[in-house]
């Protein structure tokens, strides 16, 4: 039976990869976060997930919403942003064109400008590749990646999140939704990129708001969180406008969601931003 069986907010920072390199200055620094991501992958297997839908804040679009609907995602990825941190990272993951097209059609039917693409040269961004490296390393589940537009609104991202849930319910898939992005996302300026930059927060204000958000999640005070989300996204430098979080909560039911938020690792800073891995339990 088709349904949403796992939903999570996940980190995709490149320092996760550096943490696993033995001669890296960040060796083991992200051990807790890596363990959390692998645990989510284990849970997804147990729940017989067939498709991961990833709301990717590192696939940023200037022109509308886009969905990668390729049959196969295959490539070798080097980050144009941080080639010293992610280089030649190979991935080979099956896609889910039917679900991707269904999400696009459902959102289009509610007035959203969104396109699903089957273009072999359209690769994945690391907001999808990094989480899949830990949750789906051997490609046992299909993957749909969804971009985050830069010039949009919370209302439009809600339409896409709600359309994603409806498309899942009408499909034959067992789906895990991942909101791939940071909490606050103020990065250190270039002049301050010293050895400590990768493990410190750039704004104490942002850190305090992030911690308050985690408290609200753990207390299941989602109505208050969704009410503050527009200001949170702006004032705490939300990555991709926090579109991934908007789409996740829209898929969960927005302020009607009442499930448990299980924090799977300690909150941690990376390059000035705030990061965490949290599962939002669905019945």
- How many angstroms separate the CA atoms of 164 and 256, rounded? 17
* Domain boundaries defined on the chain: 3-280
Q: What is the pLDDT of residue 147?
A: 96
Segment 258-281, tens digit of pLDDT: 999 999 999 999 999 999 999 999
User: Would the pTM of this model clear 0.85, i.e. be above it?
Assistant: yes
**Burial (Cβ within 10 Å: 0-12, 13-18, ≥19) of residue 96:** buried
The answer to whether residue 1 scores a pLDDT higher than 60 is no
Average pLDDT, the chain: 95
Q: What is the pLDDT of residue 23?
A: 75
C-alpha atoms less than 13 angstroms from C-alpha of 190 in its C-beta half-sphere? 2
Segment 51-68, tens digit of pLDDT: 999 999 999 999 999 999
Alpha-carbon torsion 252, 216, 238, 268, what sign?
Answer: negative
Segment 209-253, tens digit of pLDDT: 999 999 999 999 999 999 999 999 999 999 999 999 999 999 999
Confidence of residue 13 (pLDDT cuts 50, 70, 90): very high
**What are residue 143's DSSP bridge partners?**
52, 95
Q: What is the pLDDT of residue 2?
A: 60
- How many angstroms separate the CA atoms of 69 and 98, rounded? 8
Those residues with Cβ within 8 angstroms of residue 19's Cβ, 6 or more apart along the chain or in another chain: 26, 27, 28, 29, 30, 31, 33, 34
The answer to whether residue 180 scores a pLDDT higher than 80 is yes
Confidence of residue 84 (pLDDT cuts 50, 70, 90): confident
**What kind of fold does domain 3-280 have according to CATH?**
Protocatechuate 4,5-dioxygenase; Chain B (3.40.830)
Higher pLDDT, 83 or 72: 72
Q: What is the pLDDT of residue 198?
A: 81
């Amino acid at each position: 039976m088709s349904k949403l069986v796992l939903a999570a907010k996940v980190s995709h920072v490149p320092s996760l990869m550096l943490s696993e390199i033995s001669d890296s200055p960040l060796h083991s620094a992200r051990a807790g976060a890596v363990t959390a991501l692998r645990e989510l992958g284990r849970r997804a297997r147990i729940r017989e997930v067939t498709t991961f839908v990833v709301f990717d804040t590192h696939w940023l679009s200037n022109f509308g919403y886009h969905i990668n609907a390729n049959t196969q995602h295959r490539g070798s990825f080097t980050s144009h942003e941080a080639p010293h941190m992610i280089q030649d990272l190979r991935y080979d993951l099956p896609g889910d064109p039917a679900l991707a097209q269904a999400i696009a059609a459902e959102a289009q039917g509610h007035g959203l400008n969104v396109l699903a693409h089957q273009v072999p040269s359209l690769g994945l961004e690391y907001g999808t590749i990094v989480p899949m490296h830990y949750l789906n390393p051997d490609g046992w589940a299909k993957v749909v990646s969804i971009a985050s537009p830069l010039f949009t609104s919370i209302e439009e991202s809600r339409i896409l999140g709600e359309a994603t849930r409806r498309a899942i319910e009408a499909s034959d898939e067992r789906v895990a939704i991942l909101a791939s992005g940071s909490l606050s996302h103020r990065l250190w300026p270039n002049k301050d990129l010293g050895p400590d930059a990768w493990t410190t927060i750039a704004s104490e204000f942002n850190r305090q708001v992030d911690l308050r958000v985690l408290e609200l999640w753990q207390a299941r005070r989602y109505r208050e969180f969704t009410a503050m989300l527009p200001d949170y996204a702006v004032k705490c430098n939300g990555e991709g406008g926090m579109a991934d979080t908007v789409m996740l909560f829209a898929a969960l039911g927005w302020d009607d969601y009442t499930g448990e938020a299980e924090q799977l690792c300690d909150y941690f800073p990376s390059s000035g931003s705030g990061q965490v891995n949290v599962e939002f339990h669905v019945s």
